[in-house]
Amino acid sequence: MEARKILLNEDEMPRQWYNILADIKMNPPLGPDGKPVTPDALAPVFPMNLIEQEVSSERWIDIPEEVLGILKIWRPSPLVRAFSLEKALGTPAKIYFKNESVSPPGSHKPNTAVPQAYYNKEFGIKRMTTETGAGQWGSALSFACSQFGLECKIFMVRVSFDQKPYRKSMMSTWGGQCVASPSMETKAGRDALAKDPNTPGSLGIAISEAIEAAVTDPSGKTRYSLGSVLNHVMLHQTIIGLEAQKQLAKVGDYPDVVIGCAGGGSNFAGLAFPFVLDKINGKAIEIYPVEPAACPTLTKAPFVYDHGDTARYTPLLPMHSLGHAFVPPPFHAGGLRYHGMAPTVSQLVVEGLIKPKAVTQLDAYAAGILLARTEGIIPAPETTHALACVVEEAKKAKEEGKAKVILFNWSGHGLLDLMAYDKYFAGELSNFVLEDKEIEAAEKVFENFPKPAIMKSR
């Protein structure tokens, strides 16, 4: 019987991350003066060792031993051959996935939370702040901080805080302190509450609160942390794709198609970037980031300079954006409800190295249920978007009679999102598809911003 799971031993783990900045040209982030942001300007927000990583153009960056030691709690993650799905679809395609749901918080997020906590600790930081929407990222940072003895403070968007009380419990169990945002603890929070005491909150406000809580700590021992979008976050996630390459080599396979869902871009980048390097070096391979049709950043929005947050605290980043004031419709994949996209992922779209796709919520859940009943794991709502694309590609391979190799990222499990499945079965979920005029209206906010150069790296 062929193996379902292709495993690596801990001593086969990659010892370096892959930094895509070595291989593509990027527009720089811009400060309030319209000039490229200097590392010093970011020093109150992030520790300098992470800022150095953010701007590094070294292709390979060593993973510290202490980080590997913690990652080994769940890594290397299994590469799984999806035999049951293949059989259910009757496809000649060989389908593989990296199972990133096996981490204690249940997603790929701790791949960067652990090194971020490590570098903060190394820099003498005692306390980290962050925001969280659906809760995956806040859980991951709480877990990572517990491993390094750091305090962790999480501002969780109120509507999610109220809807998903278990996420707060998870953070508390690891010692993190989670408060609903807007809170009375920051000026940004108090201002938001003064404006609307019943506000459901937003990721934008939560980011503002977390940044403010970090930079106003008089001890200077607090820093802010972001779970996606930034270069160093993508860097840390590349361990996923680097492991997958080793695992596929063990069974003598190589993907024709690589697929990951994309919200801020980190789980997609983690799997895909090492394969992008192969593509740059001449491999024929299709690479698809998959986003919700209700938040079509890569498929419908322009490549612009925009802020990462609603309150415009962050530098201007070169990315595909629906506008920093855009509020996505209330679909369930909270991790994909982001107006922008990682600048590195955006640049790869500009260069034509990757091809974005969009799927609707109902197609995503249908695929999620098919996967739960074949491969056994209940997927996170975010992951179901990748699954819908996988099912489509597998069906296409069947029509074409091609034994394609498809690789995708199972970014997380849905055990803390089961209410969404209930709603699907009850027929209470619907599709949200944005009209072009809604998108045009949202994009007005960056009309007067500088424009990034449209560059090809080769």
| Secondary structure of residue 35 in the 3-state scheme | coil
Three-state SS annotation for 289-333 = EEEECCCCHHHHCCEEEEECCCCCCCCEEEEECCCCCCCCCCCCC
Residues across the chain: 458
Instruction: Return the number of other C-beta atoms located less than 10 Å from residue 22's C-beta.
Output: 13
**CB-nearer residue toward a copy of itself: 162 or 422:** 422
Kindly write out the interface string for residues 128-147 of this chain, putting x where it contacts a copy of itself by CB under 8 A and - elsewhere: ---------------x--xx
Using CB under 8 A, which of the segments 7-15, 299-307, 355-363, 388-396 binds a copy of itself? 7-15
Candidates 10, 52, 191, 438; binder of a copy of itself (CB under 8 A) is 10
15 near a copy of itself (CB under 8 A) = no
Query: Which residues are registered as beta bridge partners of 6?
Result: 79
**Contact (CB, 8 A) for 136 and 380:** yes
Closer CB to a copy of itself, 159 or 372, in the complex: 372
CB of 394 to a copy of itself, least distance (A): 19
Q: Does 369 bind a copy of itself (CB under 8 A)?
A: yes
Question: Contact with a copy of itself (CB under 8 A): which of 36, 69, 220, 330?
Answer: 69
Residue 78 DSSP one-character state: P
Residue of 65, 428, 435, 447 that binds a copy of itself (CB under 8 A): 65
Nearer to a copy of itself, 9 or 448 (CB): 9
Give the whole-angstrom CA distance, residue 17 versus residue 273. 10
- What number of other Cβ atoms are within 10 A of residue 438's Cβ? 13
280 exposed, middle or buried (CB, 10 Å; 0-12, 13-18, 19+)?
A: middle
Q: Which of residues 425-454 bind a copy of itself (CB under 8 A)?
A: 425
62 three-class SS: strand
Q: Which of 16, 44, 74, 215 binds a copy of itself (CB under 8 A)?
A: 74
Residues paired with residue 94 on neighbouring β-strands, in sequence order: 405
Residue 106 interacting with a copy of itself (CB under 8 A)? yes
Q: Is 419 in the site for a copy of itself (CB under 8 A)?
A: yes
- For residue 342, the 8-state DSSP code is -
Whether 155 contacts 183, CB under 8 Å: yes
- According to DSSP, the residues that pair with 359 across neighbouring strands are 292
Q: Which residue has the tokens 């720089």?
A: 28
Among candidates 358, 398, 360, 394, which has minimal Cα distance to 375? 394
- Residues near 66 by Cβ (< 8 Å), separated by ≥ 6? 118
Stretch that binds a copy of itself, among 14-22, 70-78, 258-266, 290-298 (CB under 8 A): 70-78
249 lies in the binding site for a copy of itself (CB under 8 A):
no
Calpha distance 328→308 (Å, rounded)? 15
Query: Which ranges in 45-82 belong to alpha helices (H)?
Result: 48-55, 65-71
Told to check if 173 binds a copy of itself by CB under 8 A, we report yes
Minimum Å gap between C-beta 262 and a copy of itself is 24
Query: Of the two residues 291 and 417, which places its CB atom closer to a copy of itself in the complex?
Result: 417
Residue pair 453/303 in contact (Cβ under 8 Å)? The answer is no
- In the complex, minimum distance from the CB of residue 338 to a copy of itself, in angstroms, rounded to a whole number: 25
Which residues, numbered 83-102, are part of the site for a copy of itself (CB under 8 A)? 84, 102
Phi, psi dihedrals of residue 318, rounded to the nearest 5°? -80, 110
**Region binding a copy of itself by CB under 8 A among candidate stretches 205-213, 233-241, 368-376, 387-395:** 368-376
Span of 4-12, 252-260, 261-269, 285-293 interacting with a copy of itself by CB under 8 A: 4-12
- Stretch touching a copy of itself by CB under 8 A, among 17-25, 51-59, 166-174, 296-304: 166-174
User: Among residues 96 and 421, whose Cβ is nearest to a copy of itself?
Assistant: 421
Comparison of 199 and 374: residue with beta carbon closer to a copy of itself? 374
Among residues 161, 242, 246, which one has the least CA distance to residue 201? Answer: 161
Residue 79 or 358: the one with the smaller Cβ distance to a copy of itself is 79
11 is a contact residue toward a copy of itself (CB under 8 A):
yes
Q: Indicate the SS3 state at residue 179.
A: strand
Question: Least separation, in Å, of the C-beta of 109 and a copy of itself?
Answer: 13
Could you say whether residue 372 binds a copy of itself (CB under 8 A)? yes
Sheet holding 222-224, edge to edge: 177-181, 151-157, 127-132, 222-224
Select from 53-61, 65-73, 256-264, 302-310 the region that touches a copy of itself (CB under 8 A): 65-73
Residues of the shown chain interacting with a copy of itself in the complex, contacts defined by CB under 8 A? 1, 3-5, 7, 9-11, 65, 68-69, 72-74, 84, 102, 104, 106, 143, 146-147, 165-166, 168-170, 172-175, 369, 372-373, 375-378, 415-416, 418-419, 421-422, 425
